[in-house]
Structure 1
Amino acid sequence: MSGGFTLLELMISLTIVSMIIVAVYAAFNIGTESTRRGTARALDNQHARAALSLLTRQLKSAYPLTLQDEGETFVYFFGASQELSFISGDGRAEAGGLSKITYFLREEDGRVGLWVRTAAPVLPIDLIDGVEGGVVQETQLLPEVDELNWAYLGRAETDDEWAEDEWTDEWDGQEYRRLPRAIRCAWRAQLGQLPLEWELEVPIQVRTAPSELWASPQSGDGEGRRRRRGRR
């Protein structure tokens, strides 16, 4: 009886070794892919948390800057269901003073993202004429947004002091002449392969400015006032 391997035994051994190698490679590949996906999800979560942190900080810093134009007194705050523009007391270090913050949606390459535009320093005459500050920066907060809605808590001008606050999808500082009691942002966005939903509600501490801090009357025409409403 020969002490060597037969051809059949050798083929069986090679087949078994090949199967083991394939199984090990498949397990390694699955582990690597799981790690990659886990890392991507962690980065997406970190990005979402950073966006929430920035939104919260900027909304909390909302300042009721009061302007006067052609006898009209109003607070610079213009909020719609998908866009919001207001004055922030958290100014940029390189510009100083107050900042104008605008949140808006922008479509690029078929994808809609949530962006924030920061302009500083803020001058009353620039706001009236619809001119941005000297330092303007645009940053994308969320790259893929399926749905986004802003809402504002408050009540219309009324003599009834017991009237309840209500959520509305529009807040015009020219009409209300103060900031809303709270701002809510609800959005649905893609986080990796899964759509997730968030809702952020931020109370506003200072809704009206002391009369001695109101901006002095500034010159401005009606066209500038119309630009102020519509400019992003």
Structure 2
Amino acid sequence: MKKKLVVLTGAGISAESGISTFRDANGLWKNHDIMEVASIDGYQRNPKLVQEFYNERRKQLFEVEPNAAHFFLKDLEHNFEVAIITQNVDDLHERAGSSKVIHLHGELRKARSEKDEKLIIDWNKDIKLGDLAEDGNQLRPHIVWFGEMVPEIENAIDEVLTADVLVIIGTSMQVYPAASLKDYAKPNVPIIYVDPSDTYTDSSITHIKKRATESIEELKTILNIF
């Protein structure tokens, strides 16, 4: 029986494919206050601005491809039962072939009703004011904004609770509730953290201070012992 490998990914893994990160100096927040474009209050104040912001981000998806780290995680399915929990709203894990991906913060290539968070549809073009869901309400990006609940958090917790190994890649571990997921791992479950920064330190984990694509060989060596 294969061991269960749970992987939590953040902006760092997608940045290597060319997707701008939210919190870097040159990231997408540079020209926008976070609360203007990533909060439910911001959307209610200026829905046109927020729709345009995510329309641009959606277009960017069609200009990038999964990188070696995405494909590596897919290939781990040969040896492990793999569940990926991602904070990213892109579809690069799916395009690399990963079979189980939980999106904590939503998906850019989906839209939903303003009034019914469960009325979700596939959407690959711009969302314009006047585009309506089946219930007659305005469509909005299927994104979890500040001030909103994280619907998939319980599913993510269930995955971590059953993990034999937990790998965290490319996240600062500063955004909650995602950052708390590691606390649900069973005692003595190995935790491997892949990120070049020193912003997150925990003596109980193995820290590979490299970017996602640069860590592949080291991760192979570590995971080979399980």
Q: TM-score, normalised to structure 1's length?
A: 0.24
Indicate the structure with greater strand content.
1
Q: TM-score, normalised to structure 2's length?
A: 0.24
